[in-house]
Structure 1
Amino acid sequence: MKKRVLFVDDEPRVLEGLRNRLRKQRKKWDMVFAEGGERALEELARAPCDVVVSDMRMPGMDGATLLARVQEEHPDAVRIVLSGYAELEAAVRAVRVAHQFLSKPCEAEVLVSTVERACNLQALLGEERIRQVVGRMASLPPLPEAYAELSRVLADEDAGIKDVARVVEGDVALSAKLLQLVNSAFFRRNRRITSIEQAAAHLGIMTLRNLVLQVEVFERREVPAVPGFSAEDLQRHSLLVGGLAAKIVPAQRDDAFLAGMLHDVGKLVLACELPETFAADLAACPPGGSLAAVEVERHGVGHAEVGGYLLGLWGLPYTVVEAVANHHHPGRVPEHHALDVLGAVHVANALAHEVAGGAPADARLDTDYLERHGLAGDLARWREVAAELEELL
């Protein structure tokens, strides 16, 4: 079945240009072109769309207002801004309602690959109820102490980029949102960024002060109390997994650290948005058992897929999304032929649980995957590194 993609702009010539440039996609996409926000809502009422690509500046109903309506009424749709304006005010308005951002003029190849990737994401999360919940999310709440520390650092005239990066690297929600921002067309130039320090340096102290202290782009709310779940424990575990993954594949250190830091972001999503469901899953998981297995049995998807879906929506690099979504089952990604970010996060997660007093790593490891890639003999060395890192946290 073809995916339905809606393009929205107030200028007919822009829509006609898109129609001509995307003509080759007609066999894969059912494309609809709407002149303005009101016409776009009419098209959505006629039939749902998988992806909505909208300009920002339009008379009457602008892009941010339109996408806010889409966010509420059609949360399944991936929301993408395609705009020629890069003011901070526009970026802030868009980041609250859009998943991804592209800048005009946009090469056809970039637009096609972005829409194609958005269409493919839905296959990752088949449970419609969960997909809609994740689709509505604009951000995740950081730990209160992490947000307070970031605010303090940014208010300090003597603070530097390394001080900012140190705070952000210690919090899952701050890391995810910063990487979404820096990889958007509003801020990114020519390459994807996965290093927290590089992301902070790219945005700069002044922009970060505006985003955090003035417009409060990071969400400030408490994580609901969920029996069996601790946001503080999640942060500690995530830091350990990120640090260990970075040491396992030093050539891909930045990607590995970020993927490890965000590998359980799906748990935070579920705790915030579906606390009762998440609590029931945790209660159904036996001591030392696999929460992921319980979730898949009950819902068809688990926290790994939920996290990968969210990060994919937010446009984070594919290497990170793939590692997060598959960190329990690296063997289901067949094209991997050597240890990489996905394998590193898989191993780091299992060892981090073990050294923190959990079940032996063997219970969580895909031993066929490790043996197939000749990695089983390295486990003892990685276990020692995990124990050393755990003592430092």
Structure 2
Amino acid sequence: MQGNTVLRILFVGDSRDLPPDMADYIGDFDGQLQVVADGNSAIAAVATSDFDVVVVAPALPDITPATVLGQIRTLRPATSRIALIENEHSQRTPPARIIGVAHRFLPMPLAPEVLLDAVSSLEELREMLGDARLRTAIGRIEKLPSPPHLYLSLMHALEEDEDSNAADIAKLIAADPAIAAKVLQLCNSAFFSNGRTVSDLRGAVTRLGIATLRDLVLASEVFAVQSLSGAERQALQRRALIASRLAAKMLPQSSAELGATAALLADIGLLLPGMRNERTESAGDDDLRPGHAEAGGYLLGLWGLPMPIIEAVAFQLRPQRSSTRSFWVTGAVHVATALVNGTPVDEQYLSRVGVLPRLQGWRELAEELAGHAASDA
């Protein structure tokens, strides 16, 4: 947390849904917990006091959790909004009415360390991207892109059972026919297939490998938004996939997946209404729109993605702002997205981190990957 600022958390729901030591646990982290029993009390509390985080139980005695969260979004757009989901439903996609108004979803019963972990990551995000205008602008957006639930479910399944087999993973993907169709379409492109036809999801898992399949699922979910035309969406997805492959090849194997995911999501801020495309639009004195890079990083932070990915997306155009002084995920995403989009690479930064001699090889690799992608167009 910044300075001596006290973190204020509002819990909305039956106090019996909270662990008995929750208030003490939060107090140990310099936080304050306030509990209200119903939605109307929560709205009244938020109208008169500023909370950093609001946590809403799955059921309230007066109004729906979605209504409460929607009102809080209007009253305090910069407040982080967490919805609790009954444990038996935690591996399913939350109801559509909740997805549009909550930033994060946590399972019931709620463990103190789970809540504190989520709150701490939100605070870390605020410290890194401290622009209140950015937080408010994103908080006011009525329909944020939904968190990639199939991707997160896939990650959870792999974390829970490292021995998950191809059939288990294919079954997860098959639960969303639209995503399954898109995955098969993408993995049969020349960009991924190397001439091999993949006709079923189990075959896709086996042939492509888990890391590549995760990227395809993530790309399919993230770029399924309806705010773009079909051509715009395909162009954005194509650039993202090329940048993802390129960033992965720049990094050691231990970091390649982080780099691939970060590069894939680098331009997600362009999917948000009212953001400025920092590659094509300069910030004028009278232009109050947040830039798409930090907006994208902030959105991913609200979704709960790992901090190296958030930082790489937020600082992709200014890698010198990275907390890491060596060439790592942020540097790889900077180079990959610049080469794919035809924008300048910060050679001074590359020289400082000792990788400038590798730039020409990366340029050639980017051209090769773009050639593969062009053959699918």
TM-score (norm 1): 0.69
Question: What is the CA distance between 1:58 and its match in structure 2?
Answer: 2.7
Aligned residue runs from structure 1 range 158-169, under 5 A? none
For 1:316 and 1:50, how far apart are their aligned partners in 2?
Answer: 19
Distance in 1 (CA, whole Å) between partners of 2:249 and 2:179 is: 32
Q: Distance in 1 between matches of 2:285 and 2:366?
A: 28
SS of structure 2 residue aligned to 1:381: helix
Shift of 1:182: 4.1
The answer to whether structure 1 residue 262 and structure 2 residue 251 are counterparts is no
Q: Is structure 2 residue 175 aligned with structure 1 residue 207?
A: yes
**Counterpart AA for 1:330:** P
Match of 2:79 in 1: 77
2:93 equivalent to 1:104: no
Kindly tell me: are residues 50 and 372 of structure 1, through their superposed partners in 2, closer, same or farther at Cα, counting changes over 3 Å?
Answer: same
Question: Where does residue 212 of structure 2 map in the other structure?
Answer: none
Partner residue in 2 for 1:221: 226
Change (3 A) 1:54 1:97: same
Q: Which whole-Å CA distance do the structure 1 matches of 2:96 and 2:319 have between them?
A: 36
Give yes or no for contact 2:295–2:314 (8 Å, CA) kept in 1: yes
Report the counterpart of residue 154 of structure 1 in structure 2: none
CA distance in 1: counterparts of 2:285 and 2:333, whole angstroms: 20
Q: Aligned pair 1:378/2:358, yes or no?
A: yes
1:183 equivalent in structure 2? 152
Counterpart CA distance in 1 for 2:307 and 2:270 is 20
* Contact map agreement 1:330 1:342 (CA 8 A) in 2: yes
- Aligned in 2, Cα 1:302/1:220: closer, same or farther, shift over 3 Å? closer
Cα 1:190–1:386 change in 2 (3 A) is closer
For residues 190 and 34 of structure 1, do their structure 2 counterparts lie closer, same or farther at Cα, with a shift above 3 Å needed?
Answer: farther
SS at match of 2:156: coil
2:24 is matched by which residue type in structure 1?
N
User: In the alignment, is residue 340 of structure 1 matched against residue 328 of structure 2?
Assistant: yes
- Change over 3 Å in CA distance of 1:96–1:236 after alignment to 2: same
* Post-superposition CA distance 1:212-265 (Å, at most 9, x none): 99xxx987634389xxx9444333322221121111125133322221111111
How big is the shift at 1:388? 0.3
TM-score, normalised via structure 2 length? 0.72
Contact kept in structure 1, 2:246 and 2:365, CA below 8 Å: yes
Structure 2 residue aligned with 1:152: none
Structure 2, unpaired ranges of 5+: 182-220
Determine if contact 2:322/2:330 at 8 Å carries over to the other structure: no
Q: Do the aligned residues in 2 keep the contact of 1:293 with 1:302 (CA within 8 Å)?
A: no
Q: How many angstroms apart in 2 are the aligned matches of 1:65 and 1:347?
A: 43
Find the partner of 2:301 among 309, 312, 315: 312
Count the aligned residue pairs. 321
SS at match of 2:105: strand
Alpha-carbon distance in structure 2 between the residues aligned to 1:241 and 1:111: 34
Q: Which amino acid aligns with 2:261?
A: L
1:350 aligns with 2:318: no
Conservation of the 8 A alpha-carbon contact between 1:323 and 1:345: yes
Q: Specify whether residues 102 and 296 from structure 1 end up closer, same or farther in structure 2 by C-alpha distance, changes over 3 A only.
A: farther
Aligned-pair CA distance for 1:348: 0.8
| SS of equivalent residue, structure 2 residue 88 | coil
RMSD in angstroms over aligned alpha carbons? 3.7
Counterpart code for 1:335: T
